[in-house]
Structure 1
Amino acid sequence: TSLWMDQFYYVFGVTLIVFLLLCITCAEVTVVLVYYQLCAENHRWWWLAFFSSGSTAMYMFVYSFVWFGTLQPSTLISTYVLYFGYMFLVCFSMFLVTGAVGALTALWFVRKIFAAI
Protein backbone atom coordinates (compact mmCIF):
# COMPACT_ATOMS: atom_id res chain seq x y z
CA THR A 1 0.00 0.00 0.00
CA SER A 2 2.91 2.36 0.51
CA LEU A 3 3.53 2.58 -3.24
CA TRP A 4 0.04 3.85 -4.00
CA MET A 5 -0.54 5.99 -0.88
CA ASP A 6 2.63 8.13 -1.25
CA GLN A 7 4.16 6.69 1.90
CA PHE A 8 7.82 5.93 1.54
CA TYR A 9 10.04 3.73 3.64
CA TYR A 10 13.07 5.52 4.96
CA VAL A 11 14.26 2.47 6.82
CA PHE A 12 15.77 0.58 3.92
CA GLY A 13 17.39 -1.91 6.28
CA VAL A 14 14.01 -3.37 7.19
CA THR A 15 13.08 -3.64 3.53
CA LEU A 16 16.38 -5.38 2.80
CA ILE A 17 15.84 -7.84 5.64
CA VAL A 18 12.33 -8.65 4.38
CA PHE A 19 13.68 -9.17 0.85
CA LEU A 20 16.42 -11.47 2.16
CA LEU A 21 13.84 -13.45 4.14
CA LEU A 22 11.76 -13.79 0.97
CA CYS A 23 14.78 -15.09 -0.95
CA ILE A 24 15.71 -17.54 1.82
CA THR A 25 12.15 -18.84 2.04
CA CYS A 26 11.91 -19.28 -1.73
CA ALA A 27 15.25 -21.07 -1.78
CA GLU A 28 14.32 -23.47 1.02
CA VAL A 29 10.91 -24.33 -0.41
CA THR A 30 12.43 -24.92 -3.84
CA VAL A 31 15.15 -27.20 -2.47
CA VAL A 32 12.56 -29.32 -0.66
CA LEU A 33 10.34 -29.60 -3.76
CA VAL A 34 13.28 -30.45 -6.02
CA TYR A 35 14.45 -33.07 -3.53
CA TYR A 36 11.00 -34.70 -3.64
CA GLN A 37 11.10 -34.64 -7.44
CA LEU A 38 14.51 -36.28 -7.49
CA CYS A 39 13.38 -38.92 -4.98
CA ALA A 40 10.52 -39.75 -7.37
CA GLU A 41 13.18 -40.16 -10.09
CA ASN A 42 11.86 -37.20 -12.06
CA HIS A 43 14.85 -35.54 -13.66
CA ARG A 44 12.85 -32.57 -15.02
CA TRP A 45 13.27 -30.31 -12.03
CA TRP A 46 14.30 -27.11 -13.83
CA TRP A 47 10.88 -25.60 -14.49
CA LEU A 48 9.51 -26.86 -11.19
CA ALA A 49 12.28 -24.98 -9.42
CA PHE A 50 11.58 -21.79 -11.33
CA PHE A 51 7.78 -21.86 -11.07
CA SER A 52 7.56 -23.02 -7.46
CA SER A 53 9.45 -20.04 -6.13
CA GLY A 54 8.08 -17.68 -8.77
CA SER A 55 4.52 -18.49 -7.77
CA THR A 56 4.86 -15.94 -4.99
CA ALA A 57 4.25 -13.29 -7.62
CA MET A 58 0.94 -14.87 -8.62
CA TYR A 59 -0.24 -14.53 -5.03
CA MET A 60 0.86 -10.91 -5.08
CA PHE A 61 -1.05 -10.22 -8.31
CA VAL A 62 -4.24 -11.81 -6.97
CA TYR A 63 -3.87 -9.80 -3.78
CA SER A 64 -3.57 -6.61 -5.84
CA PHE A 65 -7.09 -7.31 -7.18
CA VAL A 66 -8.39 -7.74 -3.64
CA TRP A 67 -6.70 -4.57 -2.46
CA PHE A 68 -7.96 -2.59 -5.46
CA GLY A 69 -11.50 -3.55 -4.48
CA THR A 70 -11.12 -1.64 -1.22
CA LEU A 71 -10.37 1.64 -3.01
CA GLN A 72 -12.95 4.14 -4.16
CA PRO A 73 -14.26 3.38 -7.64
CA SER A 74 -13.14 5.58 -10.50
CA THR A 75 -14.94 6.57 -13.68
CA LEU A 76 -11.73 6.77 -15.68
CA ILE A 77 -10.57 3.64 -17.46
CA SER A 78 -7.00 4.94 -17.35
CA THR A 79 -6.97 4.47 -13.58
CA TYR A 80 -7.58 0.75 -13.99
CA VAL A 81 -5.16 0.40 -16.89
CA LEU A 82 -2.36 2.17 -15.04
CA TYR A 83 -2.87 0.34 -11.76
CA PHE A 84 -3.12 -3.15 -13.22
CA GLY A 85 -0.43 -2.43 -15.80
CA TYR A 86 2.04 -1.37 -13.14
CA MET A 87 1.05 -4.21 -10.85
CA PHE A 88 1.56 -6.68 -13.69
CA LEU A 89 5.05 -5.28 -14.30
CA VAL A 90 5.92 -5.36 -10.59
CA CYS A 91 4.58 -8.90 -10.20
CA PHE A 92 6.32 -10.12 -13.36
CA SER A 93 9.60 -8.66 -12.09
CA MET A 94 9.06 -10.38 -8.76
CA PHE A 95 8.29 -13.62 -10.63
CA LEU A 96 11.58 -13.39 -12.49
CA VAL A 97 13.62 -12.54 -9.39
CA THR A 98 12.14 -15.20 -7.10
CA GLY A 99 12.14 -17.74 -9.93
CA ALA A 100 15.81 -17.10 -10.56
CA VAL A 101 16.57 -17.43 -6.85
CA GLY A 102 14.77 -20.78 -6.75
CA ALA A 103 16.33 -22.11 -9.95
CA LEU A 104 19.86 -21.13 -8.98
CA THR A 105 19.45 -22.56 -5.50
CA ALA A 106 18.09 -25.80 -6.94
CA LEU A 107 21.00 -25.98 -9.38
CA TRP A 108 23.46 -25.53 -6.52
CA PHE A 109 21.63 -28.19 -4.48
CA VAL A 110 21.54 -30.74 -7.32
CA ARG A 111 25.22 -30.24 -8.08
CA LYS A 112 26.06 -30.69 -4.40
CA ILE A 113 24.13 -33.93 -3.97
CA PHE A 114 25.36 -35.45 -7.23
CA ALA A 115 28.95 -34.47 -6.48
CA ALA A 116 28.73 -36.68 -3.39
CA ILE A 117 27.91 -39.77 -5.47
Structure 2
Amino acid sequence: MYYIFAFLFLVFLILVISCSEVTVLLCYFRLSAENCDWWWRAFLTSSFTSIYVLIFAIHYFFTKLNVTGIGNIFMYFGYSFILVLVFFLFTGTIGFFSCFYFINTIYNVLKVD
Protein backbone atom coordinates (compact mmCIF):
# COMPACT_ATOMS: atom_id res chain seq x y z
CA MET A 1 0.00 0.00 0.00
CA TYR A 2 2.83 2.41 0.78
CA TYR A 3 5.21 1.30 -1.96
CA ILE A 4 4.75 4.56 -3.90
CA PHE A 5 6.75 6.42 -1.25
CA ALA A 6 9.62 3.98 -1.72
CA PHE A 7 9.64 4.67 -5.46
CA LEU A 8 9.44 8.40 -4.78
CA PHE A 9 12.43 8.16 -2.44
CA LEU A 10 14.32 6.13 -5.04
CA VAL A 11 13.68 8.80 -7.69
CA PHE A 12 14.81 11.45 -5.19
CA LEU A 13 18.08 9.57 -4.61
CA ILE A 14 18.63 9.22 -8.35
CA LEU A 15 18.10 12.98 -8.74
CA VAL A 16 20.60 13.78 -5.99
CA ILE A 17 23.21 11.36 -7.34
CA SER A 18 22.87 12.48 -10.96
CA CYS A 19 23.04 16.18 -10.04
CA SER A 20 26.13 15.53 -7.94
CA GLU A 21 27.93 13.45 -10.53
CA VAL A 22 27.27 15.79 -13.45
CA THR A 23 28.33 18.84 -11.45
CA VAL A 24 31.52 17.22 -10.18
CA LEU A 25 32.42 16.04 -13.67
CA LEU A 26 31.92 19.45 -15.25
CA CYS A 27 33.73 21.12 -12.35
CA TYR A 28 36.66 18.76 -12.86
CA PHE A 29 36.81 19.64 -16.56
CA ARG A 30 36.75 23.30 -15.62
CA LEU A 31 39.59 22.88 -13.13
CA SER A 32 41.57 20.85 -15.66
CA ALA A 33 41.40 23.82 -18.02
CA GLU A 34 42.91 25.92 -15.19
CA ASN A 35 39.76 27.93 -14.67
CA CYS A 36 39.14 28.35 -10.97
CA ASP A 37 35.79 30.15 -11.20
CA TRP A 38 33.71 27.17 -10.21
CA TRP A 39 31.43 28.57 -7.50
CA TRP A 40 28.52 29.84 -9.55
CA ARG A 41 29.06 27.35 -12.36
CA ALA A 42 28.61 24.50 -9.89
CA PHE A 43 25.37 26.01 -8.67
CA LEU A 44 23.98 26.81 -12.11
CA THR A 45 25.02 23.52 -13.71
CA SER A 46 22.76 21.36 -11.63
CA SER A 47 20.03 23.93 -11.13
CA PHE A 48 19.39 24.09 -14.88
CA THR A 49 17.12 21.06 -14.46
CA SER A 50 14.49 23.42 -13.09
CA ILE A 51 14.12 24.85 -16.60
CA TYR A 52 12.79 21.44 -17.68
CA VAL A 53 10.23 21.58 -14.88
CA LEU A 54 9.15 25.05 -16.03
CA ILE A 55 8.83 23.90 -19.64
CA PHE A 56 6.78 20.90 -18.51
CA ALA A 57 4.47 23.13 -16.44
CA ILE A 58 3.86 25.40 -19.44
CA HIS A 59 3.34 22.42 -21.74
CA TYR A 60 0.94 20.80 -19.28
CA PHE A 61 -1.04 24.01 -19.00
CA PHE A 62 -1.56 24.37 -22.73
CA THR A 63 -2.16 20.70 -23.55
CA LYS A 64 -4.01 19.14 -20.60
CA LEU A 65 -5.70 21.83 -18.53
CA ASN A 66 -8.94 23.56 -19.39
CA VAL A 67 -8.61 26.54 -17.08
CA THR A 68 -10.88 29.52 -17.46
CA GLY A 69 -10.50 32.80 -15.69
CA ILE A 70 -7.51 35.04 -15.32
CA GLY A 71 -7.27 34.42 -11.58
CA ASN A 72 -6.92 30.68 -12.05
CA ILE A 73 -4.27 31.16 -14.70
CA PHE A 74 -2.27 33.48 -12.44
CA MET A 75 -2.63 31.04 -9.56
CA TYR A 76 -1.40 28.10 -11.65
CA PHE A 77 1.61 29.95 -12.99
CA GLY A 78 2.33 31.51 -9.59
CA TYR A 79 2.47 28.13 -7.89
CA SER A 80 4.43 26.69 -10.80
CA PHE A 81 6.96 29.50 -10.51
CA ILE A 82 7.33 28.90 -6.77
CA LEU A 83 7.85 25.18 -7.40
CA VAL A 84 10.45 25.91 -10.08
CA LEU A 85 12.24 28.37 -7.78
CA VAL A 86 12.39 25.85 -4.93
CA PHE A 87 13.60 23.14 -7.31
CA PHE A 88 16.21 25.58 -8.70
CA LEU A 89 17.56 26.29 -5.22
CA PHE A 90 17.43 22.63 -4.16
CA THR A 91 19.30 21.20 -7.13
CA GLY A 92 21.73 24.13 -7.19
CA THR A 93 22.58 23.55 -3.55
CA ILE A 94 23.16 19.86 -4.20
CA GLY A 95 25.51 20.68 -7.06
CA PHE A 96 27.40 23.33 -5.14
CA PHE A 97 27.98 21.23 -2.03
CA SER A 98 29.00 18.15 -3.99
CA CYS A 99 31.51 20.19 -5.99
CA PHE A 100 32.73 21.89 -2.81
CA TYR A 101 33.28 18.50 -1.15
CA PHE A 102 35.04 17.19 -4.27
CA ILE A 103 37.41 20.15 -4.49
CA ASN A 104 38.23 20.00 -0.78
CA THR A 105 38.94 16.29 -1.13
CA ILE A 106 41.26 16.60 -4.12
CA TYR A 107 43.17 19.51 -2.59
CA ASN A 108 43.57 17.71 0.73
CA VAL A 109 44.97 14.65 -1.03
CA LEU A 110 47.34 16.78 -3.11
CA LYS A 111 50.80 16.96 -1.56
CA VAL A 112 52.98 19.95 -2.28
CA ASP A 113 56.71 19.52 -1.71
Query: Which among 50, 57, 67 is matched to residue 43 of structure 2?
Result: 50
The CA distance in 1 between the partners of 2:52 and 2:58, in whole Å, is 10
Where structure 2 has 5 or more consecutive residues not aligned to the other structure, the ranges are none
Secondary structure of the residue aligned to 1:96 is: helix
More helix by share: 2
Query: Which among 50, 57, 60 is matched to residue 53 of structure 2?
Result: 60
Where structure 1 has 5 or more consecutive residues not aligned to the other structure, the ranges are 1-8
Structure 1's 68 and 42: CA in aligned 2 closer, same or farther, altered over 3 A? same
Paired residue total: 109
Deviations 1:66-85 (A, max 9, x none): 11111244330011111111
Please give the TM-score of this superposition, normalised by the length of structure 1.
Answer: 0.87
Shift of residue 11, structure 1, vs aligned partner: 1.9
Map 1:1-117 to 2 at 5 A: 11-117=4-110
Calculate the aligned-residue CA RMSD, in Å: 1.4
Please give the TM-score of this superposition, normalised by the length of structure 2.
Answer: 0.90
In percent, how many aligned pairs have the same letter?
A: 39
